[in-house]
Amino acid sequence: MADPFEVRMRFTSLLHHLNASTSSALKAASYALKHADYSDDLHSCILEQLERNSMNNRANIMYFLPALCDVAKEKGEVSYGRMMERDILRIVDAVAPEDGTGAANVKVVRKVLRGLEGKGYLQARTVGELEEWIGGRDLMDGGAVSPAQALLPDQAVQSLEAAVLPTAMRSTPHSTARDAYSLTSGIRLDKRQIEQRIEEDRERHKRAREGIWAVPQVGMNLADDAEFEREWEADSDVDEDDVQLTKEEAEERSVALEYEEPVVTISAD
């Protein structure tokens, strides 16, 4: 049996190095599932990292929760999902605190909550109450959008071209990050953290666009093609008119081939 302290330290390291890639989330989720005997301790690690780490890392851990629930569900492990549901209020408050330091994470929280609701990990009533509870946390100073929020939306393109920044400040991502940092009041963000968040949001947005047309494959049997079945159901049933139209098109093609002039090749001899 593995040493509990070693398991905690390893899992804490995996949480600390989470990023926008799917592989990092799956690696941490697989490790948590491998050591499901310590699920209580590993869940406490998640809460500790949410309350201690930077805004970017808190967002990455929030995105990690659905992956953990999915992997655990596939293996029949329900403890992680139950503990997440039990402590969801604490989780949300850690990712997007009321003091405004996590204003840029409010969109992340809403997106993940809706995803958890869609997968059945959270009830619709719970999600609705949480969204109402965090309402206004992405606003500061009586309703003004915080510079951090304007600079760090879900889509990286918007973060580089945010209307809140003057045109002269949009020359490069580096100058934008530097000037936004100097203008930020109440939230002190390091330039490196800003640039990292922009890149991670861009990566997530790209993966979301890549998966728009993806059809989830149910089960491991490759003979059951989910995409083929969807297309088959979408097409209308073949009737006599379709058969007749196919015959007519085949006859037209055969006639066209008969009248097609052969290509004459002239020899150089």
- Sign of torsion over alpha carbons 14, 198, 50, 111: negative
In the prediction, which pLDDT does 176 show? 44
Q: Which tops the pLDDT comparison, 164 or 19?
A: 19
Least confident of 103-107, 127-131, 207-211: 207-211
CA atoms within 13 A on the CB side of 140: 20
Both tokens assigned to 80: 């992680």
Closest CA to 63 of 17, 115, 16, 14: 115
In the prediction, which pLDDT does 99 show? 84
Burial of 91 (0-12, 13-18, 19+ CB in 10 A): buried
Q: What percent of the chain has pLDDT over 90?
A: 40
Closest CA to 36 of 88, 1, 9: 1
Mean pLDDT of all residues belonging to the chain: 76
Alpha carbon separation from 90 to 51, 73, 134 (Å, rounded): 9, 22, 12
Least confident of 35-39, 64-68, 243-247: 243-247
| Cβ-count burial 199-224 (b if 16+ within 10 Å, e if not) | ebbbebbeeeeeeeeeeeeeeeeeee
Spatial contact of 198 and 236, defined as CB atoms under 8 Å apart:
no
Does the pTM of the predicted model rise above 0.85?
no
Alpha carbon separation from 261 to 251, 252, 266, 268 (Å, rounded): 18, 16, 15, 22
Q: What angle do CA 32, 34, 38 make, to 5 degrees?
A: 60
- pLDDT tens digit sequence for 169-184: 344 444 444 444 333 4
In the prediction, which pLDDT does 178 show? 41
In the prediction, which pLDDT does 262 show? 59
Rounded to an integer, what distance in angstroms lies between the CA atom of residue 83 and that of residue 130?
17
In the prediction, which pLDDT does 149 show? 42
- Provide mean pLDDT across the span 70-92: 94
